[in-house]
């Protein structure tokens, strides 16, 4: 597998980081150099001075895409997990990565599923009024028009989702070690 950027996006709790972690593990086991970037991690460091206004969200994605590009240019398959909520934020990412091998993966899950999972307790905080401007609740999440791959995580295991994704991005070398999706 050649160096590239795989950009996972979707609602909080959809499974972006879980899927990225599982893909990274699978690729590393095959001897492939991988770097991972996660929106929560970058918001605590490089992007800690940014809020959640539209302007700050765009800058968050721009900076993150620039870092992803540097890793990819250094020879890594770079896995990025960011909500990337609107077509405008995706355009910013695409502009930075326009000459970069890029796969955009929409990690889709219903809002009910995301609320049920709530791995970081964000939805509970939204319900208690502790968080405002939360994507998918009181801030817009636009379903993508043309993602390269859509992975629906509501009822599929992580292993099946990884298999679907790796087969989609590398169809000449199917991911034989992963279970096949039941059709």
Is 157 annotated as belonging to a binding site?
no
Is 39 annotated as belonging to a binding site?
no
Is 15 annotated as belonging to a binding site?
yes
Nearest to 10 by CA among 148, 162, 144: 144
Is 70 annotated as belonging to a binding site?
no
Sheet strand arrangement including 34-38: 34-38, 77-81, 4-9, 102-108, 149-152
- Residues with Cβ within 8 Å of 57's Cβ and at least 6 positions away in sequence, in order, are 50, 85, 86, 89
Is 125 annotated as belonging to a binding site?
no
Is 14 annotated as belonging to a binding site?
yes
- What is the chain's length? 183
Is 68 annotated as belonging to a binding site?
no
Helices (H), the chain: 16-29, 39-44, 54-73, 87-96, 111-117, 122-127, 158-169
Is 31 annotated as belonging to a binding site?
no
Nearest to 126 by CA among 65, 117, 135, 112: 135
Annotated binding residues for ATP, written as ranges, equal 10-17
Annotated binding residues, written as ranges, equal 10-17
């Amino acid at each position: 597998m050649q160096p590239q950027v795989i950009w996972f996006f979707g609602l909080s709790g959809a499974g972006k980081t879980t899927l990225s972690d599982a893909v990274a593990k699978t690729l590393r086991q095959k001897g492939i150099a991988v770097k991972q970037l996660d929106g929560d991690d970058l918001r605590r460091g490089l992007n800690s001075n940014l809020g959640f206004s539209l302007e700050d969200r765009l800058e968050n994605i721009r900076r993150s895409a620039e870092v992803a590009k540097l890793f990819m240019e250094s020879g890594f398959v770079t896995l990025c997990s960011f909500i990337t909520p609107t077509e405008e934020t995706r355009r910013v990412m695409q502009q930075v990565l326009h000459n970069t091998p890029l796969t955009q993966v929409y990690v889709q899950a219903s809002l009910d599923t995301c609320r049920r999972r709530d791995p970081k307790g964000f939805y509970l905080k939204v319900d208690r009024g502790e968080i405002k401007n939360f994507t998918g609740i009181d801030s817009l999440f636009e379903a993508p028009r043309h993602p390269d791959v859509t992975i629906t995580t509501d009822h599929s295991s992580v292993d099946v989702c990884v298999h679907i994704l790796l087969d989609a991005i590398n169809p000449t070398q199917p991911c034989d070690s992963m279970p096949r999706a039941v059709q």
